[in-house]
Amino acid sequence: MGDVFTPFNFMLLLIGTIGGLILGATPGLSPTMAVALLIPFTFRLEAAQGLILLGAAYTSTVAGGAVSAILLKIPGAPANIATTLDGHTMAQKGQGAKALQLSFLASAVGGVFGVLLLIFLTPVLAKWALAFGPSHLFWLAILGVTVIGSLDSSSLVKGLLSGCIGLWLATIGFDDIMGAQRFIFHPAVGGGINVIPALIGLFAIPQVITMFAKGRSSSGAEVIVVQKSPIKAAIQEVFSRKRALAIGTAVGSVIGLIPGVGGQIAGLVAYDQSKKFSPESEKFGTGHSEGVIAAEAANNAMVGPSLVPLLTLSIPGSPTAAVLLGGLLIHGIFPGSDLFDNHPDVAWTFINSMLIGQILMCIFGLYVAGLAASVARVPHSVMAAVVLGLAVFGSYSVQNSMGDVYVMASLGVGMYFLERFGFSAAPLVLGLILGPIAEANFIQGSMIANATSSVGSYFFTGPLNLTLIIIVVASIAYSAWMEVRNRRYTSKEEIMQ
Amino acid sequence: MTDLPRNQHIVASGLVAAVGAWVTYISYTQEPAAAFLFPRMISTVFVVLALWTFGKALLGKSQVGNGLSAQAMKNILPGLIVALIYIFWAAKGLGFYTASTITFFILLSLYDPAPHSEGRTWIKRIIITAGFLAVMYGLFAALLNVYTPREIFF
């Protein structure tokens, strides 16, 4: 814990927290994009310091999104959609300050619980991960891509196809074993596709083009001015709404552990469950404090557990966790046993900073909310130009290479158009990050298999291989079933109309 | 589904299928075969899924994604052209800071809802652009010591 409190590390934690709160409040700047744009700033830092900055930004962008959700009715991030339902109505009734206080307090409670879960589960799972051989790591990488591809996308086939595109992009460049050139169609990709410029392009550029698509229209968002409200009353209110707080925290923690299921779902499911179990369910949607508490506790409780599969098994639990994986890899650190055996100082400094970050987020959130609300009014014309500039400078600074800037721009523009047709950035990013892990373990496994048994029996037998294969198939089957069910439901509704 | 999104779905999924077919062709024809073992596995799944998506688009059964409206395309085009000129030519040709400043000012003027006829609006835009340049220079040149291509001015 002591490493977090060294002056420089604590300053980074403060910068990440306050900056994250402001970035999170800005509509259009999602936590994933904010963390991706911050990665170039961590190059000159030590691994633990870089992760402190990124972790603090991740935590507070999710909470900061509540500011614009409550005061402008524009969720700062998808995770804050459910907060808008009651939070904005509270603000309209003159309870904006109270809604903000409730949201930051609930976020802190949920967030602290989520990080405690991360602290207790991670070492256990990391030890278990030691039993994994090349075939298991291969299936884990495939699992990471298929789970996010099937659960994060609105279309199963397009989600999996996005994952395949990511896996293919990861093979571009020189093959590690034979040294053969693969798919080098332009000199800019001669050395392969660098993950960081790709992440910046895939998350930032589509957002820039989305802002262009709005044309010269003003945002039209009116910020509701908040009156001062006693914090003591808000603390009492949060802890008197134990049911909503417990449901939000539990739902967020469980959903965070499932790879690919993001904060948006956590907030909405917690809101829905809290409404179902509340004796005052009719008040939901009319500015009820339980709605804000459940949604905000859930979306921050998700943050810690979403890092459990990332830090132990290399499978990011959310798109933002995937970007954090990129932040780990640039420092030459691989999650799993390598992280806890060879870099325990980095791992624990990072995890502890997440815990302290939750508390700082709550304290500063209450003070920064006013400033964050002003930033949320920044016109999209300014925001688009700023993000474009940061994306260009950020991707160039990775290797001082114009090739990286070209790759960033090409992937970003391509991704914008693909997203318009139902493709998704998250599985593509997972494919790009996990592709080299999958290939290296596939080759290693094949060599072992050729020396001992057959490739088929090495990769398709054994309890762990079979379990992972079953999870891969089950996630695809579940997603297919949900898609068919939703289609039937929609056609029934159409017939009824 | 109307004709515009349907045709757009056909073009988009057709392009993805074409990339998938190219990747598969390269994977199965290039040597050494051992280096293309993993790409072969991926490309086979890639091309099957891409053709499935293309087939659905041809039959008008692509249900996910709304495509792009004519108005959205009209709004995007000027900004996208400016951004692409900046990235693929100006950043290197004029130098990062000069090109970024010019691009920032053009994008701000293109998408700012404030009227173009007022002098005050232009002064505001110039001040915002100068602020942006100062922040970028401070962050990347002074703080991070990133050496960027410098052609005109700095």
B66 touches chain A (CB under 8 A): yes
Q: pLDDT digit string (tens) for A49-102?
A: 888 998 888 888 878 888 888 887 777 777 788 888 888 888 888 888 888 889
Whether residue A292 is contained in a domain is answered as yes
Q: Are A343 and A333 in contact (CB under 8 A)?
A: yes
Rounded-to-integer distance, Cα A367 and Cα A196, Å: 33
Whether residue A483 is contained in a domain is answered as no
Rounded-to-integer distance, Cα A314 and Cα A140, Å: 8
Percent of chain B with pLDDT over 70: 94
Please state the domain extents for chain B.
Answer: 3-58, 70-143
B91 touches chain A (CB under 8 A): yes
ipTM, two decimals? 0.92
How big is the A-B interface in CB pairs under 8 Å? 187
Whether residue A228 is contained in a domain is answered as yes
Rounded-to-integer distance, Cα A483 and Cα A144, Å: 20
Whether residue A270 is contained in a domain is answered as yes
Q: What is the DSSP string of A411-475?
A: HHHHHHHHHHTT--HHHHHHHHHHHHHHHHHHHHHHHHHHHHS-HHHHHH-SHHHHHHHHHHHHH
Structure tokens at B116: 């173009």
Question: A150-179: buried (b, 16+ CB within 10 Å) or exposed (e) per residue?
Answer: bbbbebbbbbbbbbbbbbbbbbbbebeebe
pLDDT at B3: 61
B154: confidence class by pLDDT, cuts 50, 70, 90: low
Contact B45 A168 (CB under 8 A): no
Cα A302 off chain centre by: 10
Rounded-to-integer distance, Cα A33 and Cα B6, Å: 30
- What's the mean pLDDT in B119-127? 92
Whether residue A141 is contained in a domain is answered as no
CB-nearest to B144 from A41, A177, A385 is A41
The yes-or-no verdict on residue A14 having pLDDT over 80 is yes
pLDDT at A151: 65
Question: A84-115: buried (b, 16+ CB within 10 Å) or exposed (e) per residue?
Answer: bbbbbbbbeeebbbbbbbbbbbbbbbbbbbbb
Count of structural domains within chain A:
1
Q: Are A96 and A234 in contact (CB under 8 A)?
A: no
- What's the mean pLDDT in B145-153? 72
Residue B48 with chain A: CB contacts under 8 Å: none
Q: Are A92 and A287 in contact (CB under 8 A)?
A: yes
Q: What rounded mean pLDDT belongs to chain A?
A: 83
The label of the residue with tokens 């089950």 reads A474
Whether residue A489 is contained in a domain is answered as no
Whether residue A352 is contained in a domain is answered as yes
Q: pLDDT digit string (tens) for A235-247?
A: 888 889 999 999 9
Domain housing A412:
2-133+191-424
Rounded-to-integer distance, Cα A220 and Cα A302, Å: 32
Amino acid at A392: V
Phi/psi at B142 (5° precision): -80, -50
A219: confidence class by pLDDT, cuts 50, 70, 90: low
Amino acid at A27: P
B59 touches chain A (CB under 8 A): no
A 94-123 residues inside an 8 A Cβ radius of B: none
Contacts of A220 (CB under 8 A, 6+ apart): none
